[in-house]
Copies of this chain bind each other. A is one copy, B any other.
Amino acid sequence: MKPTVHDIARTAGVSLATVDRVLNDRPGVRAKTRERVTEAMNSLGYVRDVGAANLARGKLYQFDFIFPDNENTFMQSLRAELESAAERSLSERVLINVVLVPAFDEGALVEALNACVNRKPDGVAFVAVDTDPVREACVRLSGQGIHAVTLVSDLGNSTRAHYVGIDNGAAGRTAARLLGLFASGTNGAIAVIAGSLKVHDHQERFDGFAAAMKTDFPQHEILPILEGFDEGARVEKLVSELLAKRSDVVGLYSLGAGNSGLVKALAAHSSINRPLVVAHERDAVTSQALKEGLIHAVLAQDAGHEIRSAIRVLKASADRLAIVPGQEHIRIEIFLKDNLPQLD
């Protein structure tokens, strides 16, 4: 039915070993022989069976995933998705090893990366802290032929093979457009609350937001950014104080975590002049707030997709196979109350 290596060997008049050599671009085949085999492959319309190839190689893929031990809901769901993906991957000969490191701790991350250099897995995925020591550790990895992939937060200007995550600048601009369009009848002030601007993705989101706001909706004043360090209680206090002080706030962009505090502050505020709100990450808190009308739009990235994508990309790197770009593009998702997935 479907031609196999045997068919090629027969029509090219060579052995299986030789077919395999040209199939995998290994040396030690005369140009002429190589040509005959290639010709046979083309004329028969050969397509290699990757499952059989992997089986024959008997290879077990080993991938390390290095995560910050952050307790925010997004990191939690990322870890949950990884665990269930790891279980499923076992039946496809990939073994996943999860390494937790203290959050925002550059030293710990470098150490974990170095540990990989010694254990030599086939690939590593990590949530980057964007500093030079991390960049150097990444270089050491690629030096050892270990494919590295950044997850959620990228490592700029580095040797990582791929970044699995959203474009945070674009996310910020998207938030600006949503708020700008939502608040088009007004010209009040816009507030922004972040976790910390020291975090790369938060900074990027803010930059994108501020730039788009200034360009396309200049009538709105952007208030000095508030830093809530992703903690609900702190966010609640900051937002409550702000709303009490400034009655002209028409829009609010929450670009970090700690949304439980945000929602509490909004609910406590007079429903007459609540601001229009765009927040990040879909979880139980933001979904509920969307339904109640406290938050008007949520920007999100799909943790499950990110995990599956990282594994596919790592596997493709190990096998030197191409990826399907459309499948690995992580979208900036926008949720209103109406397009939330049912089961939440």
Contacts and interface: CB of A to CB of B under 8 A. Distances in A.
A147 interface: no
Contact of A55 (B51, B174, B184): B51
Contacts of A23: none
A241 B52 CA distance: 62
Interface in A172-223: 173-174, 176-178, 181-182, 184-186, 208, 212
A170 B338 CA distance: 6
Interface residues of A, number: 53
A166 to B, nearest CB: 9
A244 interface: no
A338 B272 CA distance: 31
Contact of A333 (B92, B181, B212, B333): B333
A153 to B, nearest CB: 18
A331 B329 contact: no
Contact of A185 (B177, B185, B343): B185
B338 A50 contact: no
Interface string A316-331: 0000000011110101
A91 B334 contact: no
Given A52-B55, A91-B47, A331 B339 contact: yes
A25 interface: no
A164 to B, nearest CB: 15
Copy tally for this chain in the complex stands at: 2
A200 B230 CA distance: 45
A162 interface: no
B339 A327 contact: no
A88 B324 contact: yes
A100 interface: no
Interface in A1-60: 1-2, 47-52, 54-55, 60
Contact of A182 (B1, B55, B184, B325): B184
A304 B326 contact: yes
Contacts of A84: 324
A332 interface: yes
B174 A339 contact: yes
Interface in A78-114: 81, 84, 88, 90-93
Given A2-B93, A84-B324, A304-B326, 9 more contacts: A49-B92, A51-B93, A88-B324, A173-B338, A173-B339, A212-B338, A331-B341, A332-B339, A334-B336
Interface of A: 1-2, 47-52, 54-55, 60, 81, 84, 88, 90-93, 170-171, 173-174, 176-178, 181-182, 184-186, 208, 212, 276, 296, 302, 304-305, 308, 324-327, 329, 331-334, 336-339, 341, 343
Closest 3 CB pairs of A and B: A185-B185, A51-B51, A173-B338
